[in-house]
Amino acid sequence: MLTQEEKKQFGEILETLGETLDITETQYNTAVSSYGAVGEWLAKPESSLAPYKPVVRPQGSFMLGTMIKPICEDDDLDIDLVCELTGKNPRWTQYHLKQVVGNRLKANETYKNMLDGEGRRCWTLMYSDSANYHMDILPSLVCSGYNIVLEKAFSDTVLEKDYESLAIRITDNKQNNYYTDTIAENWMKSNPFGYGRWFFNAANVFSLRKSIMLAEAVSPVPKYNKEKLPLQRVVQILKRHRDIMFNGDEDKPISIIITTLASRAYNKETSIIDALTNVITNMRNYIENRYDSSVGRTIKWIPNPVNPEENFADKWVEHPQREKNFYKWLDQVEQDIQAIVQQRGLHNISESMGKPFGEKIVTKVFSELGRKNFNLRENGVLKMATGTGILSTVGSVTAAAHNFHGND
């Protein structure tokens, strides 16, 4: 059982781990600038999309504030975007809508050269090696006045759970009506921003400062926010552990499942270590067993919180290894975190974190902690915990300022 002092100190370590996992402000602003330029190109007056007021905004981990660096820092960041169109030509099917967006991108020589092969739902722009990211752009339809609805839903004064009003219609070339149906209400529904609002409700962002963070989340040009909520940090830490454990395995636990279960298990803890241990212990309790008539048996069901009939674990039926890997990962992360919090002394804590989170990044974490502690020591506010030997702003024994001249 950790003391309050120890919780704060492990919290500082985990917070620094999260900060180290964050993409840099430069990476963030470069990505925002890049997709902003795409949005401007799609909306230019001469564009066939101009009458439908295209808006490009982030979704997924970029919106949620849970994006992390890849294990190899030379690998691409995957940035998920939504291209919202208000209305369409009445003759357009999903196919037509997607092609109009694609053709507009191809009309720009730069974007034409960056376009990857057409995806099931998205167009993907592959940025240069120096930028190290690619963008998946999802064409979608929204209702008139959608931006007002979205801003209201993400304001601090609106707490009702009207997620349905945030749903959008998307293109999906695996749908039977992809080439034929011109009625948008029959197209596949998605709700990335309803999910985002649900996530931030779970993260409890109701203070004035945090409501600003909430509003920024769905802004087409969100500002970089270094400060993160405990739930955001927990999700980042869990995703990193997953990445290290599975190292590119396609059957690894997917981020939407980790994020959803973590959000359900989160109980408003303000301490990162409390939040992390609680989430890991309770995540599995939110996996349901439901009878699925399409397969004729009971299966694992992780409902989409804004569309309970959608099962985020639906691929587990045809890929049973993914289910096995999820439970294997959950057992391992619980074991690893328990082992870490049992350690005392910075060296032992650092060693216990190396394997589950990666030696290189853990070295950076403790180097950064050392830098912070040096500054605190010089200011005379650094203390040492008598139990752990961790240096921080909380503790029992004031640490002496460093003397570069030894005993002289």
DSSP structure string for 332-367: HHHHHHHHHHT--SHHHHHHHHHHHH-HHHHHHHHH
DSSP state of 115: B
Residue 123 CA, distance from chain mean position: 20
What are the angstrom distances between the C-alpha of 126 and each of 33, 39, 110, 111, 274? 15, 16, 11, 9, 39
Distance separating alpha carbons of residues 46 and 246, to the nearest angstrom? 47
Which domains does the chain possess? 23-226 (3.30.460.10), 341-398 (no CATH)
Q: What is the pLDDT of residue 373?
A: 73
Q: What is the pLDDT of residue 383?
A: 58
CB 63 within 8 A of CB 195: no
Mean pLDDT of the chain: 89
Q: What is the pLDDT of residue 376?
A: 62
Distance separating alpha carbons of residues 390 and 344, to the nearest angstrom? 8
DSSP structure string for 156-192: TT-----GGGG-EEE--TTSTTTTT---GGGSPEE-H
- Joined together, the tokens standing for residue 333 give 């992360």
Distance separating alpha carbons of residues 171 and 100, to the nearest angstrom? 12
DSSP state of 61: H
Nearest CA among 233, 201, 239, 237 for reference residue 217: 201
Q: What is the pLDDT of residue 2?
A: 82
What are the angstrom distances between the C-alpha of 185 and each of 87, 90, 146? 12, 12, 15
Give the tens place of pLDDT for each residue, 326-350: 999 999 999 999 999 999 888 999 9
Could you tell me which residues are beta bridge partners of residue 82?
Answer: 57, 138
**Ranges of the chain whose pLDDT falls below 70:** 129, 156-160, 205-215, 374-408
Distance separating alpha carbons of residues 223 and 25, to the nearest angstrom? 9
Q: What is the pLDDT of residue 204?
A: 78
CB 236 within 8 A of CB 21: yes
Cβ partners under 8 Å of residue 59, min gap 6: 80, 81, 82, 138, 192, 193, 196
DSSP structure string for 226-276: ----HHHHHHHHHHHHHHHHHTT-TTSPPHHHHHHHHHHH----SSHHHHH
Q: What is the pLDDT of residue 403?
A: 35
CA angle 62, 68, 73 (to 5 degrees): 120
CA angle 42, 48, 49 (to 5 degrees): 45
Q: What is the pLDDT of residue 354?
A: 96
Distance separating alpha carbons of residues 377 and 385, to the nearest angstrom? 14
